[in-house]
Chains A and B, each alone.
Chain A
């Protein structure tokens, strides 16, 4: 079983603080995606990173793909209550069958 471990599992912070979520695996992925999921909704894609070492920014969110394409991080600057949700990374495998392997998830709560 290919596992994507996310850390931390839970995070509760004050508005304005910075945070980093990590997504680690022993497997190499063709690409890696980050999602945010809110209660009662399906996951919503935030970003896809493809190249080892790639960094992408989405407003206050910075995503990085590890050089070896086995891990990724999500950094949020000046967190806001609207950032609250379940953050999921998903590694994309294209060798053999095409599939997404989801990480264990990080539940973030930003307090006003």
Chain B
């Protein structure tokens, strides 16, 4: 099983600012996924991040708003840019095949 650590676990941010969320895995994985979970809702896939290539974004999500880095096989970051209150959500990273999730980052934008 993979152990996934996310930082920060929660944050309260001012609108217009950006927040970078880190996801660290204790083993090398090819694919990492970033999800958003709005209050009381299910998970929506933002993008798939493969090491050495640009992330693949799902419909409704764009790189300018959610830039992703994947510098190596154990780490990824998701940035939520120019935040608005509508970005208040839980953001989760996950690894493929075994579908392990981090505990998530609870973001509140005020």
Binding site for B on A (CB under 8 A): 1, 6, 33, 35, 40-45, 88, 90, 97-105, 107
In the bound complex, residues from chain A placing their C-beta under 8 Å from that of B40 are: 107
Q: Decide if B96 touches A42 in the complex (CB within 8 Å).
A: no
Q: Decide if A42 touches B33 in the complex (CB within 8 Å).
A: no
In the bound complex, residues from chain B placing their C-beta under 8 Å from that of A100 are: 33, 45, 94, 99
Other CB < 8 Å A-B pairs besides A88-B42, A98-B31, A107-B40, 5 of them? A40-B103, A45-B98, A90-B99, A99-B45, A100-B99
Instruction: Give the docked Cα–Cα distance between A51 and B87 (Å).
Output: 38
Q: Decide if A99 touches B99 in the complex (CB within 8 Å).
A: no
Q: Decide if A1 touches B59 in the complex (CB within 8 Å).
A: yes
Q: Decide if A42 touches B101 in the complex (CB within 8 Å).
A: yes
* Nearest CB on B from A8, distance (A): 14
Q: Decide if A105 touches B99 in the complex (CB within 8 Å).
A: no
Q: Which of B34-89 contact A (CB under 8 A)?
A: 35, 40-45, 48, 56, 59
Interface of A is mostly: strand
Q: Decide if B99 touches A101 in the complex (CB within 8 Å).
A: no
Instruction: Give the docked Cα–Cα distance between A104 and B4 (Å).
Output: 24
Q: Decide if B43 touches A43 in the complex (CB within 8 Å).
A: yes
In the bound complex, residues from chain B placing their C-beta under 8 Å from that of A40 are: 103-104, 106
Instruction: Give the docked Cα–Cα distance between A1 and B104 (Å).
Output: 24
Which residue in chain B gives the minimum CB-CB distance to A105?
B42
In the bound complex, residues from chain A placing their C-beta under 8 Å from that of B94 are: 42, 100
Q: Decide if A45 touches B104 in the complex (CB within 8 Å).
A: no
* Nearest CB on A from B101, distance (A): 3
In the bound complex, residues from chain A placing their C-beta under 8 Å from that of B96 are: 98
Q: Which of B44, B59, B100 is A102 in contact with, Cβ under 8 Å?
A: B44
Q: Decide if B45 touches A33 in the complex (CB within 8 Å).
A: no
